[in-house]
Chains A and B, each alone.
Chain A
Amino acid sequence: METIKKHHKAIIAYTIIAFGIFALIAILIVKPSRIILEEAYSFNQKPKLKTIEFPFSQTVNVPDKKLSFLELRFEDDSINQYQYTVTTTYKSTPVFSHVYDNEISNIIRIPIDYSIIEPIEGGVFDIRIDCEGTCKNAKIELYDIDGTPTIKSLYGYQKVDYGLLWYGLFPIAIGLTLLPLTKRGGKHE
């Protein structure tokens, strides 16, 4: 007991460091992954051009609690002259279906209803856009633009979340900062 009282500051500092090391090891062994929902371009990517024809179908991974909706945006308003249907399904269960007819906005917002699905590792949604009637020859062009984009598309993928290493590094840094203060130093030089 006396020893603990005498060295309690060091015990606290080492405990914090130990927690950080444990967290680091656990993360590096377990390699927890997160579902990342990312834009079609990022700062480092070069521009890509993608021309899409109807029907347009894309599989999107949606992380749990990450979003309350998905959003698709189209290049211009020409799409709004036509009738088109957007459906999302989860494990073959339709969770969203809407017919858009002469819409004003070129943004489609697709809600994710977590009361219907059970996101265990995130939800995998199939988004399908069917265009009826004369719009069969219409195109949606998706641009990855390094600068000022006019279009975004959303896609998801799974990757190891190395950002979680922060949970280990931060306590180690705090503990190491406190460690010199646990010893009695010599006289100030």
Chain B
Amino acid sequence: MNKKIYKYIIGIIVCLLLSILTEIIGFNFKAITSSDEKFQDVTFSESHNGDETTLKLSTDNRYINKLIIEYQTSKDVNYSLNYSSSGLFNDEKTITFEDIFDDSFNQSVINLDCQPSNAIIVYKQSKTAQLEIKTITIDNSFHFNIVRTISVFLSFILIFSLICFYRNGFKTSKLHLYFAIVCSLLGAIIIISQPSATYFSFDDQIHFQNIIDLFHVGHTTYSIGEYQLIDSNVSNSAGHNSIDSIEEQRAQNELFNSGDSDFSKNVTFAPTYNKIGYLPMAIGYHLARLVNLPFTACFKIGKIFNLLFYVLIMAYAIKTIKIGKRLLSVIALIPANIFLASQYSYDPAVIIGITVFVAHLINLYLDKNTKFDFRIAVIMLASISYACFVKAIYVPFLLLALLIPKERFDSKKQSHLVKIGIIVVAFLLSATFILPTISGTMESDSRGGNTSVSGQLSTVLSNPLDYATLLGNTAISQFSDMTMNNFSNYGYIVNQTTISSTNFLYILLILLLFTFLTDNDENNLIKKQRFAILIANLATILFIWTALYLTFNPIGNNTIKGVQSRYFLPLFFPLLICLQPKNIKNAIKPKTYNAIIITIPAIINLITIITSILAVYSY
């Protein structure tokens, strides 16, 4: 046992040394070996064409690691840097880099790492912006980037872990541990390398504001970082859409950490049940605030708590379920799941709630030795309630508990009483969205335009066939987007080209299909159970489309807007497990099989995170 631990410690130390060497020799190779001056001024000539200004830079084919533009502006100004660069076989290609002169800062840093020629900066001059370009400098000096080093270190740890898993046999009984380690490391890299700001994930500025207010009671003053990132201000926040280097990230962090804002409000402590999905993030964030950590640290710790919560509960589900462990592991490592778990998002709450419930449900369906006892009832009711508190439309899954065989109970009477209780709980959960809809008190989302829940409901009920046709056509036509987007969905993260590259997307899809077809050991769900799970999925899909049609679409709209692919993430596992064929025999050795289903998503996620997040925001 001691030998193993020593080997792991040595492995971690080697990973640390490798990451430091990579940073020093890899990323700073040219800085170390080049004899040119590290800081060089760039002269530029200015020309005007109407309100458009062009700065022609004299780069003289010099190598440029970072281009630093010092400026002053009273308003944000969009600009583009256009240049030519030699690619493979000296093939010249023209590159356009879009950025913003942000009025909160006075420096824009662009990572080029090439020898550009014909470089020009183009922007539209505005009378109100009063933009002045002061200096343009080349920075080829040595930079020890701690964020990049830590991210690379975690990447090496991930690869080292995969090697250790393989050497230890990639046992099926330890799939939950493999998932936990891989997902934690990937999520940690996302959190560390992403700027401490909102507007990267769906509605994260709204979620973040709700988290701030959850434990603030009475007269509360927002810090500068908090005030910048809440829903009403995020579009004008410092660094919004303009952070693309570690230097800019540091400037943003410095601003966000600089103390309290002038904004304060009275908050009454009146949490509604749907805020329960925020608890892990809120606990992490406010605990960090309690010990007076800087805002950016608190911000990241809140995300870490959300990630850890997702990892722990999902690992529990993988460990608990008796069939489809590998299928569940692959689904849990879908890029959208890992990304959302690393953000201010309550979608992971729904995903883990539904998954734990379904895991225990399937065990009860299949395993004659599993009793529906007090402990399992608490876990199942807690998990489905947790998911439905956040989004009640997933309540059809609770009704699947009515099909638990009576042999799982101690007596017929117990079975009947418990199932009556389940019906009542399901009614109460569904009442949270059905009653407000019927009574007309449910609020619509004005982001969808001229919306009205009661008006839309009236339209639907007076034209049921038209609505059914609209629903069917929309659900079918958008089926592939709603499923496939989750394999490449990283919210609003720029540089989506790598993430949505066809190769990666289809590799993951093929892997999921492969696991769906082959991880069918002991899947002895009977037709009645499969059909019931399928109906629960279809009912939830109907609720998702209808809920968004009622709240997010103008009355009588002939399309259904607002539905996002992440709403269907909790349905992946239950839908696939009920449709899984039994006839395909899997002759692949468990070690090889488990290695494939863990390693491929791990590596694909790692590559996309490094190229689309780390390389964009933290170089």
Contact = CB atoms under 8 A, between A and B. Distances in A.
Interface of A: 9, 12, 36, 38-39, 41-44, 64-65, 68, 71, 73, 114-115, 118-120, 145-149, 152, 163, 166-167, 169-170, 173-174, 176-189
A181 B377 contact: yes
B411 interface: yes
Contacts of B213: 65
Across the A-B interface, the 8 shortest Cβ-Cβ residue pairs: A177-B421, A185-B410, A42-B440, A185-B411, A43-B454, A180-B417, A43-B440, A181-B374
9 contacts: A43-B440, A65-B267, A68-B232, A115-B265, A119-B266, A173-B421, A177-B421, A181-B377, A181-B414
Nearest to B437: A43
B372 interface: yes
B476 interface: no
B454 A182 contact: no
Contacts of B422: 177
B418 A181 contact: yes
Contacts of B407: 188
Contacts of B381: 174, 177-178
Interface string B551-577: 000011000000000000000000000
Given A177-B381, A181-B373, A152 B421 contact: no
Contacts of A43: 438-440, 454, 457-458
Interface in B407-423: 407, 409-414, 417-418, 421-422
A181 B432 contact: no
A68 B414 CA distance: 50
Contacts of B377: 177-178, 181
B454 A39 contact: yes
B450 A73 contact: yes
Given A42-B439, A176-B421, A181 B273 contact: no
Nearest to B435: A163
Nearest to A66: B443
B385 interface: yes
A177 B411 contact: no
Contacts, number: 122
Contacts of B378: 12, 178
A115 B264 contact: yes
Given A43-B457, A44-B440, A115-B265, A152 B414 contact: no
B462 A39 contact: no
Contacts of A184: 410
A76 B412 CA distance: 65
Contacts of A38: 440-441
Contact of A148 (B267, B431, B440, B455): B455
Given A9-B374, A174-B385, 18 more contacts: A38-B441, A41-B440, A44-B440, A68-B231, A115-B265, A148-B459, A148-B555, A148-B556, A149-B452, A166-B431, A170-B385, A176-B424, A177-B425, A180-B413, A180-B414, A183-B414, A185-B411, A185-B414
Contacts of A147: 455, 458-459, 462, 555
A166 B430 CA distance: 11
Interface of B: 213, 231-232, 263-268, 273, 372-374, 377-378, 381, 385, 406-407, 409-414, 417-418, 421-422, 424-425, 428-429, 431-432, 435-436, 438-441, 446, 450, 452, 454-455, 457-459, 462, 555-556
B412 A189 contact: yes
Nearest to A186: B411
Contacts of A183: 414
A65 B428 CA distance: 25
Nearest to A67: B443
Most buried by A among B265, B407, B412, B436: B265
B266 A145 contact: no
Nearest to A149: B455
A167 B273 contact: yes
Instruction: From A68, A174, A179, A184, name the one whose CB has the most chain B CB atoms within 10 angstroms.
Output: A174
A171 to B, nearest CB: 10
Contacts of B421: 173-174, 176-178, 180
Contacts of B232: 68
Contacts of B450: 73, 152
A2 B399 CA distance: 37
B395 to A, nearest CB: 13
Contacts of B373: 181
Nearest to A170: B428
A166 B429 CA distance: 9
Nearest to B406: A188
Most chain B Cβ neighbours within 10 Å, of A118, A120, A169, A177 = A177
A18 B529 CA distance: 36
A64 B428 contact: no
A182 B455 CA distance: 47
B107 to A, nearest CB: 31
